[in-house]
C-alpha cells in the first residue's frame, strides 16, 4: 500500500524521468500578462478587472494546482500502460518533427471533443461549469478551471498513446492549456482573416463564453439530446425542426419553434401551445414552447447549443459544424445568469460543486442515468447550453435574474457595487501573500516531500484558499470557518 501511494503521489519518480511541464514554466508569464492587461485597460479607461471576481477566478486556479498532487498520476499511468501494449510508433524510433505534429494535432482534436462533451451532460457540465460561471472575461478567467475535469479528461487523450511517447503527450497537453490563456480577453479585437479562420482567437472564444450566443440567425438548428448529438446539421433539421431565426435573433428574445418535416416538437412530453395570431405586417410565427409550471422536474426544453469548442485550432469547429462568428452588433454577455455575484457566493468550493450537488439531488429524485448522462435538469441547475436561466422553470419574462434575452448595455458593469471592505483586502492579502507562495513552494518541493507531508500540504492549501476567499461574502458561516482554520493552523503548525 505504501509503494502504491508513493507511486501515485510521485509518479515521475516512479517513471524514473521528469516530464515537461509548460504550465509550471509559464506561471510567471500568466501573472505578467494579467498585470499588462490591467494596465492597458486602465489606461484606456476600461473597467476589466474587479478585485472580488478576480480573486475568485484565481482561487479556482490555485485549487487545481493543489489538487494536481492527487490527480497528476491519472494523466501518466493509464497513458503509459496503454502505450506499453498498443504502441504503433515505438519510443526508440526518432521521428523528430513528425512526433510533434502528431502530438499537437491529436491533443488539440482530443481537447475539442472533451470540451464539447463537457457541455452535453450534467456530469460533464458539473466538471466544466466553473470555467463559465464568472460574469467577466479577462485573463484571470483563463485560470478559473473546474477541478472535476482532471478526474476524467485524461481518457480523451489516450488516442495519442499508440503514436507518441509520454513525454510528447505531456509537452503538448501542457502547451495546449498555455496557448489557450491568451484567448480570454476583450482587449484584442478580431485579427487578420486567415488567422481567424485557422486558430482559436479571443473573438471566437468570447462567443463560446457568451450567454447571448450559441444560436444562429437564419436557419438555426437546435442540438438535440441523445443520438441526435452526432447527426449533421441538415439531419438535425429534418428530424427536429429549426429555429425561426427572425424570432430568435430579432425582435424577441424567446425562441420560437418551427417544426421539421413531421412538425414534431423535439421532446414528445412538451405540449404544443395554441397558435397566436401574428402582428400585422409580419410573417406568421409559431408559438412559444412552454413548460407546465406544475412539472416538478421538467424535460429539457430546446435551447441553443454552445459554439466554438476548439482549443488552439478553430478548424475543428468549422469541420464539425459548431462554429459561430462574433457579431460586432451583439456585444458578449458572460456568466451563467444575470446575478452580479456568480451563484450568489464567492465560495471556491461551491463554485466547483454546485452543479454536481444539484445533479445528485436530481438523480436521487428521478431516473439516475438520465440525470447524470443527459441535459435533464431540476431546480437550481443551469443547463449545459449556458442559457440565462437557472433551470427548473420556464424563463420569467423580464425577470431580474432570469433574462431570456441578455443584452449588454453601454457602461456595462457585471459586478456587484458593494464597496470594498476589510474582508476583501484580507482575502487578497491571504491569497496573494500566502496561498500563491505556498502553491509555488509546493511545486518546487514536491519531489522531496514524503507522502504524508505532501498530501497534508495540498489539503491545507485547499482549505486555506476556500475559507480565505469565501469571507468576501461577509457571511457569519464564512467567518466561522476561517477562524476555525486559523485555530487548527495555530495548533498544528509547529508540528508540521
Report whether 363 contacts 378 (CB < 8 A). no
Check residue 190 and give its pLDDT: 96
Among candidate residues 187, 218, 233, the one where a domain is terminated: 187
- Note whether residue 276 is domain-resident: no
Other Cβ atoms less than 10 A from the Cβ of 361: the count is 15
Q: Provide the number of structural domains found in the chain.
A: 2
Check residue 319 and give its pLDDT: 96
User: DSSP letters along 130-163, please?
Assistant: HHH--SS-SGGGGG---GGGGGTGGGGGGGGTTT
Task: List the grid coordinates of 309.
Answer: 469548442
Q: In 401-493, which ranges are continuous DSSP H helix?
A: 422-430, 436-445, 451-470, 476-492
Check residue 305 and give its pLDDT: 60
Report whether 306 contacts 214 (CB < 8 A). yes
- Note whether residue 71 is domain-resident: yes
Check residue 263 and give its pLDDT: 30
Partners of residue 391 on adjacent β-strands = 381
Task: List the grid coordinates of 369.
Answer: 442515468
Q: What's 159's DSSP letter?
A: G
Check residue 266 and give its pLDDT: 34
Give the structural domain span for 454: 422-495
Give the CA distances from residue 326 to residues 209, 265, 435, in Å, rounded to whole numbers and listed in that order: 11, 29, 37
6 Rama sector, left if φ>0, alpha if ψ -120 to 50, beta otherwise: alpha
Task: List the grid coordinates of 409.
Answer: 448595455
97 Rama sector, left if φ>0, alpha if ψ -120 to 50, beta otherwise: alpha
- Note whether residue 210 is domain-resident: no
Distance CA 166, CA 332 (A): 39
- Note whether residue 165 is domain-resident: yes
- Note whether residue 488 is domain-resident: yes
Which mean pLDDT values do the consecutive 10-residue runs of the chain (496 residues) have? 87 92 96 97 95 97 96 97 92 78 96 93 93 95 97 97 94 98 97 98 95 52 34 41 35 33 32 46 43 39 68 97 91 87 93 93 89 79 52 38 62 87 96 94 91 94 95 95 93 72
Check residue 294 and give its pLDDT: 37
Check residue 175 and give its pLDDT: 98
Among candidate residues 155, 187, 219, the one where a domain is terminated: 187
Does this model's pTM top 0.75? Answer: yes
- Note whether residue 204 is domain-resident: no
Length of the chain: 496
Distance CA 494, CA 183 (A): 44
Among candidate residues 164, 187, 210, the one where a domain is terminated: 187
- Note whether residue 327 is domain-resident: no
Q: In 180-218, which ranges are continuous DSSP H helix?
A: 193-198, 202-209
Task: List the grid coordinates of 401.
Answer: 435574474
Phi, psi of 242 (to 5 degrees): -130, 165
Amino acid at each position: 500500500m505504501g509503494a502504491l501511494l508513493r507511486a501515485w503521489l510521485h509518479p515521475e519518480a516512479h517513471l524514473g524521468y521528469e516530464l515537461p511541464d509548460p504550465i509550471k514554466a509559464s506561471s510567471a508569464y500568466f501573472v505578467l500578462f494579467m498585470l499588462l492587461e490591467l494596465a492597458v485597460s486602465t489606461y484606456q479607461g476600461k473597467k476589466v478587472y474587479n478585485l472580488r471576481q478576480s480573486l475568485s477566478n484565481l482561487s479556482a486556479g490555485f485549487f487545481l494546482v493543489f489538487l494536481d498532487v492527487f490527480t497528476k498520476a491519472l494523466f501518466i499511468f493509464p497513458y503509459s500502460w496503454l502505450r506499453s501494449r498498443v504502441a504503433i510508433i515505438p519510443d526508440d524510433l526518432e521521428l523528430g518533427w513528425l512526433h510533434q505534429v502528431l502530438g499537437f494535432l491529436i491533443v488539440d482534436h482530443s481537447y475539442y471533443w472533451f470540451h464539447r462533451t463537457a457541455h452535453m451532460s450534467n456530469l460533464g457540465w458539473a466538471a466544466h461549469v466553473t470555467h463559465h460561471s464568472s460574469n467577466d472575461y479577462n485573463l484571470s478567467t483563463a485560470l478559473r478551471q473546474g477541478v472535476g475535469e482532471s478526474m476524467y479528461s485524461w481518457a480523451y487523450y489516450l488516442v495519442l498513446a499508440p503514436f507518441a511517447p509520454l513525454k510528447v503527450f505531456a509537452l503538448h497537453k501542457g502547451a495546449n492549456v498555455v496557448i489557450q490563456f491568451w484567448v480570454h480577453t476583450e482587449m484584442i479585437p478580431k485579427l487578420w482573416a486567415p488567422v481567424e479562420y485557422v486558430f482559436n482567437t479571443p473573438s471566437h472564444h468570447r462567443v463560446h463564453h457568451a450567454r447571448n450566443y450559441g444560436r444562429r440567425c437564419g436557419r438555426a438548428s437546435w442540438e438535440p439530446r441523445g443520438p441526435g448529438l452526432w447527426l449533421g446539421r441538415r439531419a438535425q433539421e429534418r428530424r427536429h425542426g429549426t429555429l425561426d431565426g427572425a424570432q430568435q435573433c430579432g425582435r424577441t428574445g424567446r425562441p420560437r419553434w418551427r417544426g421539421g418535416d413531421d412538425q414534431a416538437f423535439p421532446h414528445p412530453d412538451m405540449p404544443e401551445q395554441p397558435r397566436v395570431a401574428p402582428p400585422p405586417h409580419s410573417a406568421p410565427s409559431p408559438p412559444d414552447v412552454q413548460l407546465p409550471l406544475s412539472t416538478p422536474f421538467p424535460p429539457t426544453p430546446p435551447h441553443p447549443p454552445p459554439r466554438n469548442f476548439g482549443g488552439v485550432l478553430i478548424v475543428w469547429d468549422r469541420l464539425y459544424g459548431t462554429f459561430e462568428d462574433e457579431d460586432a452588433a451583439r456585444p458578449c454577455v458572460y456568466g451563467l445568469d444575470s446575478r452580479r455575484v456568480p451563484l450568489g457566493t464567492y465560495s471556491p468550493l461551491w463554485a466547483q460543486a454546485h452543479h454536481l450537488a444539484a445533479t445528485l439531488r436530481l438523480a436521487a429524485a428521478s431516473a439516475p442515468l438520465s440525470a447524470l448522462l443527459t441535459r435533464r435538469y431540476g431546480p437550481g441547475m443551469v443547463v449545459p447550453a449556458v442559457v440565462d436561466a437557472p433551470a427548473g422553470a420556464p424563463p420569467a419574462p423580464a425577470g431580474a435574474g432570469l433574462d431570456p434575452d441578455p443584452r449588454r448595455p453601454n457602461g456595462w458593469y457585471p459586478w456587484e457595487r458593494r464597496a470594498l471592505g476589510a474582508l476583501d483586502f484580507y482575502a487578497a492579502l491571504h491569497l496573494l501573500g500566502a496561498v500563491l507562495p505556498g502553491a509555488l513552494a509546493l511545486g518546487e518541493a514536491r519531489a522531496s516531500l514524503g507522502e504524508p507531508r505532501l498530501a497534508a500540504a495540498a489539503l491545507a492549501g485547499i482549505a486555506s484558499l476556500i475559507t480565505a476567499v469565501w469571507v468576501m461574502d461577509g457571511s457569519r458561516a464564512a467567518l466561522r470557518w476561517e477562524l476555525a482554520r486559523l485555530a487548527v493552523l495555530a495548533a498544528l503548525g509547529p508540528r508540521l
